[in-house]
A and B are shown apart, each in its own frame.
Chain A
Amino acid sequence: MNALKALERRVLSVEKAILIVFVVLMVFLAFLQVVLRGAFSAGLLWADSFLKHLVLWVGFLGASVAAHEDKQFAMDAVTRLFQGKIAAALELVVALFTAGVSILLTRASWTFLEMEREAASVLFSIGHWHAPTWIFEVILPGGFGLLSFHYGVKALRAAAELAGFSAPEEDASA
């Protein structure tokens, strides 16, 4: 359990670090585009597609952190009524189902990514460098994979609680 907790903390700090860098990059680049278009009526050609994919990355990473912090949109009116074992059992069902769907979505995204790699399309070019589209799509299986991981951990934790191994502990890094 402790090794798992350490792994989760490490995954979370990597997610957050990438998220922060990408958001700062997005804020500056989006503003630069507006300025360039306003002043010279021409923005950077590659920036628009790049920004759109940054949004995709930021969205998936944010969703992954949201999964860890239990901030995904979900109805909580019913679950609020329960405590103890029943709450843990419901949590286990929810986490297992969510992890299962996320794993299927990860697999589907992987197939999608392989198709895109074969298609070998170019998202944009800067000088002689032609950025392959699929690199920016890695976040699809990556993001769903991270969601699977977080809900998998949640399921294990709920199962452990049900089996009476450990009381639920608050994650200090959250």
Chain B
Amino acid sequence: MTGILVALGTLILAAIGTPVYALLGGLGLLFFNWDGTDAAAVIIETYRLASLPALIAIPLFTFAGFMLAESNAPKRLLALSRAVFGWMPGGLAVVALVSCAIFTAFTGASGVTIIALGGLLYPMLREQHYPEKFSLGLMTCTGSLGLLFPPSLPIILYGLVAKVSIDDLFVAGAVPGILLILILCVYSMVVGLKTGHKGTAFSWAETATTAREAIWEIPLPFVIIGGIYGGAFTATDAAAVMAFYVFVVEVFLYRDIKFSDLPMIITESMVLVGSILIVLGCALGLTNYMIDAEIPDRLFQWMNLYVQSKVIFLIVLNILLLIINMVEIFSAIIIVVPIIIPIAAQYGIDPVHLGIIFLLNLEIGYMTPPLGLNLFLSNRRFDKPLTTLYKASFVFWLIHVVMLIFVTYMPHLSLWLLRCKSATP
């Protein structure tokens, strides 16, 4: 009875906009109190934030991402990828996909892509007579494309919470991530051919000029992504190098960012970091309690009555995650992952594979009506009604879902590269 009241109260408080950290902290305090444990035990768990090994990667990558977003890096990236890919049929759409994926990965998938790049790309697409519906759908899905590539924030957070190597997750995400972009590129080319758009002529001079302009930023993806995939350094080292490098490049070499802009950029980036860390800190006590109370085990036993096969479990999991992820992705990772990891393990699912399923689900959740964040961002950025955006992004959503099915039922897609990596010393 009390349990039902607490659950009901929590749901109502959540619905009227109570911060997630307060809900988790309140529940943690309540449960520990029921057990007769001192409230300080909750804080001992919160203090574990200071011993999580790779946590520092979150503020460092976020700071670097916000710096890049505030600088002219998006413009330089766009000009360069236009020069390199613009000649292909559907070239501009391919440019949009590739540059948005890179940008989203580097800015931590916090939704800046649609705001920063959408305003530049959408008018360009329309100018080249891409259908309105296609252009809107494309821009809406690019807001989360690239979530599977380093150094995206959701992957780091998943790794921390699931206690899985972040470097392994980055490697595992590569093949599914690239495949997804390739399929979207093919679709865009088909649309490009249909509209009779031939692409612009390739020019060496243009490529050289745009490359020279972006000369300081070109090494970034290679050093960071290459360094992590190649095993040259860990995600934490990569974060430290990137934050310092971006700081020097944008402030001293390009001078895009003035010293007077720094306080605002630092504060805004740490507001995002802080709101993630406080939820994580308050969840640590609660999840620890749930694991002690063997909640995942009990859930598994209950589920096992209805779901015996791994295949059906994965279907149920995917549907469940799509619903949860519409709410808020960072909180979803922090709250749901500790519970599903032990359950999935009972069904024999590799935690790294589960991570890629989970993250691709997040990516889809971003564009799933009615609550997906990308839809709201597009609504604000392009001033189009939500219902138009639902229709416009449907094909892109469908492509994502098909990809999710492949990723879910073909574990090799995620694990193959990882095995190759671990096979070579």
With A20-B263, A51-B56, A59-B278 already in contact, the answer to whether A78 and B271 are too (CB < 8 A) is no
Which residues of chain B are within 8 angstroms of A33 by Cβ–Cβ distance?
240
A71, B275: Cβ atoms closer than 8 Å = yes
The distance in angstroms between the C-alpha atoms of A57 and B105, with both chains bound, is: 26
DSSP majority for the B interface? helix
DSSP majority for the A interface? helix
B29, A104: Cβ atoms closer than 8 Å = yes
Residues of A within 8 A of B (CB): 16, 19-20, 23-24, 26-28, 30-31, 33-34, 51-53, 55-56, 58-67, 69, 71-79, 90-91, 93-94, 97-98, 101-102, 104-105, 107-109, 111-112, 115, 136-137, 140, 143, 147
With A19-B270, A34-B241, A59-B281 already in contact, the answer to whether A74 and B59 are too (CB < 8 A) is no
With A97-B13, A98-B22 already in contact, the answer to whether A140 and B39 are too (CB < 8 A) is no
Which residues of chain A are within 8 angstroms of B187 by Cβ–Cβ distance?
none
Cβ contacts A to B, 18 pairs, < 8 Å: A19-B266, A20-B262, A23-B63, A27-B60, A27-B244, A31-B243, A33-B240, A34-B233, A58-B59, A59-B273, A66-B272, A71-B271, A79-B16, A93-B13, A105-B42, A105-B282, A108-B42, A111-B43
The distance in angstroms between the C-alpha atoms of A75 and B44, with both chains bound, is: 28
* Chain A residue nearest in CB terms to B370: A77
Interface string of B34-77 (1 = CB under 8 A from A): 00001110111011011110011011100100000000000000
Which residues of chain B are within 8 angstroms of A137 by Cβ–Cβ distance?
47
Which residues of chain B are within 8 angstroms of A24 by Cβ–Cβ distance?
266
Residues of B within 8 A of A (CB): 13-22, 25-26, 29, 38-40, 42-44, 46-47, 49-52, 55-56, 58-60, 63, 233, 237, 239-241, 243-244, 247, 262-263, 266-267, 270-279, 281-282, 327-328, 330-331, 371
- Starting from the known contacts A56-B49, A72-B19, A90-B16, 16 additional A-B residue pairs (CB-CB under 8 Å) come to A16-B263, A27-B60, A31-B240, A55-B56, A58-B59, A61-B270, A63-B274, A65-B267, A72-B275, A75-B14, A75-B17, A78-B15, A97-B26, A98-B22, A108-B43, A109-B43
The distance in angstroms between the C-alpha atoms of A98 and B22, with both chains bound, is: 5
A30, B273: Cβ atoms closer than 8 Å = no
The distance in angstroms between the C-alpha atoms of A143 and B56, with both chains bound, is: 18
Which residues of chain A are within 8 angstroms of B18 by Cβ–Cβ distance?
74, 94, 97-98
B56, A30: Cβ atoms closer than 8 Å = yes
The distance in angstroms between the C-alpha atoms of A131 and B239, with both chains bound, is: 27
Q: Which of A30, A76, A109 contacts B239 (CB 8 A)?
A: A30
The distance in angstroms between the C-alpha atoms of A78 and B47, with both chains bound, is: 33
B17, A58: Cβ atoms closer than 8 Å = no
A30, B277: Cβ atoms closer than 8 Å = no
Which residues of chain A are within 8 angstroms of B371 by Cβ–Cβ distance?
77
Give the shortest distance, in Å, between A72 (CB) and chain B (any CB).
Answer: 4
B47, A140: Cβ atoms closer than 8 Å = yes
